[in-house]
């Protein structure tokens, strides 16, 4: 069965600096991978997805993630953080009839 590990429970950056949220996964086959964002008191919104096409995936709000099979990683990055990026981020791995969520990474953006 697949699993996903978000390596940091909390990341704090200054506005305008790069963001890196780390995600490692394990999977028996070729999984689909997703990043979701959850703002306070809101539902989860899809940021981006990887489904065996290009390994560098671009999402909304300037985020992107790179699928690295050799490292079993799917890290989320953004060149320059904005205050509105402060939220909880979830990495998700999916294959067949099973979707697993990471524990989440809380991103804080300081002025």
Partner 1 sequence: DAGVIQSPRHEVTEMGQEVTLRCKPISGHDYLFWYRQTMMRGLELLIYFNNNVPIDDSGMPEDRFSAKMPNASFSTLKIQPSEPRDSAVYFCASSLGQGRIWTEAFFGQGTRLTVV
Point out which residues bind partner 1 (CB under 8 A). Answer: 32, 34, 36, 41-46, 49, 51-52, 90, 94-97, 99, 101, 103-104
Structure tokens given for 56: 């560098």
91 near 27, Cβ under 8 Å?
no
Q: Which helix (H) or strand (E) holds 48?
A: strand 44-50
Please report how close the Cβ of residue 27 comes to partner 1 at its closest, in angstroms.
12
What's the min distance (Å) between Cβ of 111 and partner 1? 26
Q: Which is nearer to partner 1, 14 or 69 (CB)?
A: 69
User: Which of 25, 81 has the CB closer to partner 1?
Assistant: 25
Question: Least CB distance from residue 103 to partner 1, whole Å?
Answer: 5
The first and second tokens of residue 81, run together, are: 């953080």
C-beta of 46 vs 83, nearer to partner 1 = 46
d(CA 81, CA 13): 7
**Cα–Cα distance between 9 and 61 in angstroms, integer?**
22
């Amino acid at each position: 069965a697949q699993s996903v590990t978000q390596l940091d429970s909390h990341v704090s950056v200054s506005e305008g600096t790069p963001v890196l949220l780390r995600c490692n996964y394990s999977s028996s086959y070729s999984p689909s991978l997703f990043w979701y964002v959850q703002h306070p008191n809101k539902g989860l919104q899809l940021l981006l997805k990887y489904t065996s096409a290009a390994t560098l995936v671009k999402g909304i709000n300037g985020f992107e993630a790179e699928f690295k099979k050799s490292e079993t990683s799917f890290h989320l990055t953004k060149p320059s953080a904005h205050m509105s990026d402060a939220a909880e981020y979830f990495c998700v791995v999916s294959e067949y009839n099973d979707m697993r969520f990471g524990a989440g990474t809380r991103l804080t953006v300081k002025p």
